[in-house]
């Protein structure tokens, strides 16, 4: 199933006499040798940033290739942490990676901007202009040339056209959205504390639509953090009477994509801590006062988070004829090459990658992004040397769901005679934390990741356990 590199456009992967070309191209305040093979990675999420960091270390620093990251944000935050940012459990500034600094340390270039188009004939990625909060232009519209392009722009929330979602619900796609919800939550508590009358029904209720991993973890975290916010002198609010977290899921059970044993264990924990769970419930409309279900029932809630389903960004449907599936992902071969252009690859949530022997594609999970990034490093090195590309094979190592301080549950695959084992409690919690450390280690080294972990643990002892602003 592996594809052999074709002469066009792959024949010129290694130029005949790269050092003899004196022409140079200025990019900002740095200079790039035109003779070097140009590798451009669009998207600085888990997959894209791990890939460009490894490529920079292996190829960029040794002048074997020119490595460029295109990203519309300034900093990177590991996406599984977004629910903790929204709940106020962590300060995102302690976990963010600055792209400009990462590029400087690891031998790649960083272009600040959003991809808005692609010209496959001239091999250029088109970027939109960027502006600051005052409307002043930061960077102009421009094009970035490539010889090999890797698209890793992740996914966005799918609201399925539900009325009111865009106006009254907050998705959790970016750190900015997570922080926005947290500010809205704290403001709602302050408003309830200072208003003359009692707390209105639904005023401090939170409806989380979508009981996948993000929604379920957020619901558990919110149950704790809302009470910790109130404990800081907001005595006008009765947490048991005025605060409620409702988790809404259209499927018959929560965590429908995970094994049923994990779903059942998580449901029991949520019931114990007082999170209200509604399964088999489809949302008809979101209003300023709450959520209306298709059975005409109404859930009063002035705070709504939408975490029900994902799709690929709309720009992927405008990339010069590349093939997309029904949720706009780029369709790729087992080699991770797009079906209509062997010089363009896609990884992470934005790629529809086949699984041999399975009816579904590789799931949009952090472990898949990590595996694909590691595979792409080897693919690109083989591509540069003109070798046959190898197919990517997804390995499911299991899933873990963190319910904050309450518990962590999950399954680990292949640990016992090739079979999965159910894990919970402290061991599962340690395994969950190790995943984040592994990601940080892939970006900056294991020792640096462990040092950051210890530093954050010490810092948390000097301030409130929840974000209050």
Give the integer Cα–Cα distance in Å for 221 and 237: 19
Q: What is the pLDDT of residue 427?
A: 83
Q: Do domains 7-155+312-384 and 165-310 have the same CATH topology?
A: yes
Q: Provide the CATH number for the domain formed by 165-310 in this structure.
A: 3.50.50.100
Domains of the chain, by residue range, sit at 7-155+312-384, 165-310, 398-460
pTM for the complete prediction? 0.88
pLDDT of residue 6: 33
Structure tokens at 372: 């694909």
Q: What is residue 403's predicted lDDT score, i.e. its pLDDT?
A: 86
Domain 7-155+312-384: what homologous superfamily?
FAD/NAD(P)-binding domain (3.50.50.60)
To the nearest 10 degrees (0 to 180), the angle between helices 213-230 and 175-194 is 30
Task: For residue 3, count CB atoms less than 10 angstroms from its CB and return exposed for 0-12, middle for 13-18, buried for 19 or more.
Answer: middle
Per-residue confidence (pLDDT) for residue 34, from 0 to 100:
55
| Residue 190 CB contacts under 8 Å (≥ 6 apart), including other chains | 234
Confidence at residue 27, expressed as pLDDT on a 0 to 100 scale: 39
Q: What is the pLDDT along the chain (469 residues), one digit of tens a residue?
A: 333 323 333 333 333 333 333 233 333 333 444 589 999 999 999 999 999 999 999 999 999 999 999 999 999 999 999 999 999 999 999 999 999 999 999 999 999 999 999 999 999 999 999 999 999 999 999 999 999 999 999 999 999 999 999 999 999 999 999 999 999 999 999 999 999 999 999 999 999 999 999 999 999 999 999 999 999 999 999 999 999 999 999 999 999 988 899 999 999 999 999 999 999 999 999 999 999 999 999 999 999 999 998 899 999 999 999 999 999 999 999 999 999 999 999 999 999 999 887 888 898 888 999 999 999 999 999 999 999 999 999 998 888 888 877 578 888 765 444 566 888 888 888 888 888 899 999 999 989 888 988 888 887 777 787 888 7
Cβ atoms 206, 245 nearer than 8 A: yes
């Amino acid at each position: 199933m592996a594809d052999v590199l074709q002469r066009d456009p792959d024949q010129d992967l290694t130029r005949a006499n790269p050092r003899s070309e004196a022409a140079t191209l200025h990019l900002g305040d740095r200079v790039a040798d035109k003779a070097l093979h140009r590798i451009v990675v669009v998207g600085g999420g888990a997959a894209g940033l791990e890939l460009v960091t490894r490529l920079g270390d292996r190829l960029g620093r040794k002048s074997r290739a020119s490595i460029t990251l295109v990203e519309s944000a300034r900093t990177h935050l590991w996406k599984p942490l977004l629910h903790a940012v929204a709940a106020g459990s962590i300060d995102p500034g302690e976990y963010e990676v600055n792209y400009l600094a990462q590029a400087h340390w690891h031998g790649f270039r960083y272009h600040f901007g959003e991809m808005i188009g692609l010209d496959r004939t001239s091999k250029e990625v088109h970027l939109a202009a960027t502006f600051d909060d005052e409307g002043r232009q930061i960077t102009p519209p421009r094009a970035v040339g490539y010889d090999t392009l890797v698209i890793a722009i992740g996914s966005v929330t799918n609201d399925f056209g539900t009325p009111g979602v865009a106006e009254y619900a907050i998705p959790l796609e970016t750190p900015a959205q997570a922080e926005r919800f947290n500010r809205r939550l704290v403001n709602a508590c302050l408003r309830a504390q200072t208003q003359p009358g009692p707390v209105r029904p639904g005023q401090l209720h939170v409806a989380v639509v979508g009981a996948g991993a993000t929604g379920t973890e957020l619901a558990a975290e919110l149950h704790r953090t809302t009470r910790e916010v109130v404990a800081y002198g907001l005595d006008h609010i009765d947490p048991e009477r005025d605060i409620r977290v409702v988790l809404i899921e259209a499927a018959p059970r929560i965590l429908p994509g995970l094994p049923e044993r994990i779903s059942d264990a998580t449901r029991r924990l949520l019931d114990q801590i007082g999170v209200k769970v509604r399964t088999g419930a489809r949302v008809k409309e979101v209003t300023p006062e709450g959520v209306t279900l298709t059975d005409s029932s109404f859930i009063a809630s002035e705070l709504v988070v939408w975490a029900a389903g994902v799709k690929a960004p709309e720009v992927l449907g405008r990339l010069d004829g590349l093939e997309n599936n029904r949720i706009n992902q780029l369709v790729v071969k087992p080699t991770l090459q797009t079906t209509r252009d062997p010089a363009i690859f896609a990884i992470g949530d934005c790629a529809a990658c086949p699984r041999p022997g399975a009816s579904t594609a590789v799931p949009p999970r952090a472990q898949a992004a990590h595996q694909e990034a590691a595979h792409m490093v080897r693919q690109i090195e083989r591509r540069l040397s003109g070798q046959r590309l190898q197919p990517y094979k997804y390995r499911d190592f299991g899933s873990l769901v963190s319910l904050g301080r309450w518990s962590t549950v999950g399954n680990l695959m292949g640990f016992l005679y090739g079979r999965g084992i159910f894990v919970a409690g402290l061991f599962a919690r340690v395994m969950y934390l190790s995943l984040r450390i592994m990601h940080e280690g892939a970006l900056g080294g294991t020792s640096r990741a462990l040092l950051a972990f210890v530093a954050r643990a010490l810092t948390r002892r000097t301030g409130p356990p929840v974000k209050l602003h």
